[in-house]
Structure 1
Amino acid sequence: MSTPKTDFKKEYRELYTAKPEPGLVLAPELPYLMIDGAGDPSSPGYASAVEALYGVAYAIRFALKGAGVMEYPVMPLQGLWWTEEDHRSDFAAHRDLWQWTMMIMQPPQAGVAMLFDDAVATARKKKPSSPIDRVRLETLREGWCGQILHVGPYSTEAATLERLHTFLEEGGHTINGNHHEIYLSVPGRTAPEKMKTIIRYPVTPAG
């Protein structure tokens, strides 16, 4: 019997597609691998955290495929960003002040029995110097969100953010969570001017 195949980017298409004009999306509760950190995302600490996250994500993927449960592509990297002063993240602040939680969405089966613990153990053996033990499996609850597609390098997000904030304010939608980015492109593999990033904020809808 062949292993069932699925693509969660297609199954949850509304969460991984956005337009250059702002809009609203309803984000359901879903399981994510998460790892927390602080400081400049160009630092070695950030890189090692992301490495740990992918190590566990791939270990879960191979375990589910090996057990004949399902086969799927590992989902895109995502990040929650903020500072102590502003949950929307002050991008004018020094990068060393940034707080972040990096995430990768997981299939529901990732939390079954000892699968997550086994995946952590497997990833730790392959990358003993990586901060694997900081990775956790947690449900993300955002509900209604405002979002927009940013095309270009991260350094030019300001104008895109302004359009999104204006849309939310004029519509009476109140931001109630952290700045959320979904990375649809991989740095180094995509020209900076063609990079695609979904920017999202949980909101309390008007009315």
Structure 2
Amino acid sequence: MAATNGKVDVTKAIDCYRARKGRFDVVDVPDLRFLMVDGHGDPNTSAAFADALGALYPVAYTVKFASKRDLGRDYVVPPLEGLWWAEDMAAFTTGRDKTLWSWTMLIMVPEWVDDVMVEAAIAAVAAKKRPARIDDVRCEVLSEGTCVQTLHVGSFDDEAPVLATMHHDVIPSRGLRMAGTHHEIYFSDPRRTPAGKRRTILRQPVAPVAE
């Protein structure tokens, strides 16, 4: 695994965390474990969304520090990710009515971090800061398998044409159909990165049409 200043970057060793702008690749995504919090509503205005991040990040960093302290294994906290869906997926490509969106926000944990460490981290954060949604944090395996993905560079609100191309042109042209939840991986911190330069992997699990 690649290291940065002595810290392992777990995403560098996973092929599906690489994507290219303007190219739609079919990738095999391994089973991975994530800290997760669910919610619904516009991420720009929903208190539940802000509270989800307010619980996820303290747990993720508490796990990281425990790994370094107790196991001697330091790592870069992986990027924030999100699963997004709506009753009508056109809410993502036409109109972009974010009040209709449901989501699960994710931060990966390395394979050497066990459930005991995660549970201890959640308890430590709850005892110290008690974020509003700390009781909603869980750790689960996400199984996606075969996916189509691309790199989007730009504002989140400019994703719609890329997603429309992926959903209606690229996936059907390859004899595939959508078979899971839209997934985004955020390599840029929106608080520090201008909208036009944000780098986001857009991923869609798929299956053969015949299945």
- Normalization by structure 1: what TM-score? 0.90
Give the CA deviation at 1:174.
1.0
Q: Does 1:57 align with 2:60?
A: yes
Instruction: Select which of 110, 113, 127 maps to 2:129.
Output: 127
Give the CA deviation at 1:89.
5.5
Instruction: Select which of 118, 129, 146 maps to 1:116.
Output: 118
Structure 1 residue ranges, 4+ long, deviating more than 3 angstroms after superposition: 88-91
Q: Deviations over 1:9-38 (max 9, x none)?
A: 2111x2221112111111000111110001
SS at match of 2:159: helix
SS at match of 2:139: strand
Match of 1:173 in 2: 176
Say if 1:149 and 1:198, in contact at 8 Å, map to a contact too.
yes
Within a 5 Å distance, the mapping from 1:47-196 to structure 2 comes to 47-86=50-89, 90-91=92-93, 92=95, 94-112=97-115, 114-165=116-167, 166-196=169-199
Say if 1:174 and 1:206, in contact at 8 Å, map to a contact too.
yes
Identity among equivalent pairs (%): 42
Match of 1:16 in 2: 17
SS at match of 1:185: coil
Give the CA deviation at 1:128.
1.3
SS at match of 2:185: strand
For 1:161, give the aligned amino acid. L
SS at match of 1:145: strand
Q: Deviations over 1:46-104 (max 9, x none)?
A: 01101211111111111111113410010000000001234x76443532221000001
Say if 1:80 and 1:101, in contact at 8 Å, map to a contact too.
yes
Contiguous gaps of at least 5 residues in structure 1: none
How many residue pairs match? The answer is 201
Partner Cα separation in structure 1 for residue 91 and residue 62 of structure 2:
32
Match of 1:197 in 2: 200
Match of 2:3 in 1: none
Say if 1:78 and 1:102, in contact at 8 Å, map to a contact too.
yes
RMSD across aligned C-alpha pairs, in angstroms? 1.8
- Normalization by structure 2: what TM-score? 0.89
